[in-house]
Amino acid sequence: MTAMQHDPAYNFAYLDEQTKRMIRRALLKALAIPGYQVPFASREMPMPYGWGTGGVQVTAACLTPEDRLKVIDQGADDTTNAVSIRKFFERTAGVATTEHTNEASVIQTRHRIPEAPLGAGQILVYQVPIPEPLRFLEPRETETRKMHALEEYGLMYVKLYEDIAHNGAISTAYAYPVKVEGRYVMDPSPIPKFDNPKLESGAIQLFGAGREQRIYAIPPYTQVVSLDFEDHPFEPSKADHDCDLCGCGTSYLDEVITDDAGGRMFVCSDTDFCAARQAEGHRGRLSGEDAA
């Protein structure tokens, strides 16, 4: 929760005002048509594509000096990607940052939705590698756009069919396609399907794909349905364990290999959630050993 000094060599939040304005227009359009991919003139950012250039641009367009920013990568606040993006905005915008989900007004995320429920007044910004859910089934962009326009989503089910035919169940575990407000089929970015039910929330959810130059959004309290078959319904899944640090049985877990003799531990992927539970006195199987 430190407010760093804004480096005056940069415009607020790095991007110039015209660019932020252009992105905001795309964001407004995206919010008006939930799930629709709005093209925008993505800029070169001082980081490589694939590190969250889309999310950073959306965050930059949303930030105000009063905001409190949280950045997570795979649920963790302390991984390289999260740390460097947080530092980037501390320096270029001078905004306050936090690691606590409920204190943050803007959360940029990669591959996870925080465990703590989000509510009104919060914005969740996703980093998206491939915005087009149909891309690997139909490589032609002209054709996929037409399929979205004409609501021809039979092909999306071909993927789920293939999953069941080869694995006996829908094995798609992340980037699980959803239908937003009964109209557009959308790729929720590579979040685990465990997080799909949380896409229906009180927060504004914005998706930015920098390399692909697309922005899309889910407004608060929008219906988001995960696609499935009548006889193979959607099931959010997680590792069948409790967290080894906080003992939580309902959070999404990361598997961590601890030695080369088959030793492993399962820990909450949401570090803030896990730390908060440990502070409340919850303990897991390995608490007190290698858990600092």
Partner 1 sequence: MTPLLQVRDLTKRYGARLGCGDVSFDLYPGEVMGIVGESGSGKSTLLNCLAGHQPPDEGQVIFDTRAEGPVDTLTMSEPERRMLGRTDWAFVHQNARDGLRMGVSAGANVGERLMAVGARHYGDIREQAVDWLSRVEIAEDRVDDRPRAFSGGMQQRLQIARNLVTGPRLVFMDEPTGGLDVSVQARLLDLLRGLVREMGLSAIIVTHDLAVVRLLADRLMVMKSGAVVETGLTDQVLDDPQHGYTQLLVSSVLQV
Active site residues: 35, 243, 246, 268, 274
Rounded (5°) CA angle 33-39-44: 135
Among 7, 119, 161, 171, binds partner 1 (CB under 8 A): 161
- Residue 193-232 contact track with partner 1, rule CB under 8 A, x = bound: ------------------------------------xxxx
- Residue 118-137 contact track with partner 1, rule CB under 8 A, x = bound: -------------------x
Among 158, 173, 239, 257, binds partner 1 (CB under 8 A): 158
Strand partners, 245: none
Identity of the residue, 33 or 155, whose beta carbon is nearer to partner 1 in the bound complex: 155
With CB under 8 A as the contact rule, which of the stretches 59-67, 160-168, 241-249, 279-287 interacts with partner 1? 160-168
Among 10, 49, 157, 174, binds partner 1 (CB under 8 A): 157
Size of the site for partner 1 (CB under 8 A): 17
Structural contact between residues 193 and 172, judged by C-beta atoms closer than 8 angstroms: yes
| Binding of residue 240 to partner 1 (CB under 8 A) | no
Q: Which residue has the tokens 């590190």?
A: 51
Among 1, 2, 9, 150, binds partner 1 (CB under 8 A): 150
Structural contact between residues 111 and 76, judged by C-beta atoms closer than 8 angstroms: no
66: which 2 tokens? 């009063």
Among 47, 155, 225, 291, binds partner 1 (CB under 8 A): 155
Identity of the residue, 46 or 168, whose beta carbon is nearer to partner 1 in the bound complex: 168
Euclidean distance between CA atoms 187 and 64, whole angstroms: 28
Residues 162-191, interacting with partner 1 (CB under 8 A): 162, 164-166
The least distance separating partner 1 from the CB of residue 232, rounded to whole angstroms, comes to 5
The least distance separating partner 1 from the CB of residue 38, rounded to whole angstroms, comes to 22
Identity of the residue, 13 or 147, whose beta carbon is nearer to partner 1 in the bound complex: 147
Binding site for partner 1 (CB under 8 A): 137, 150, 152, 154-155, 157-159, 161-162, 164-166, 229-232
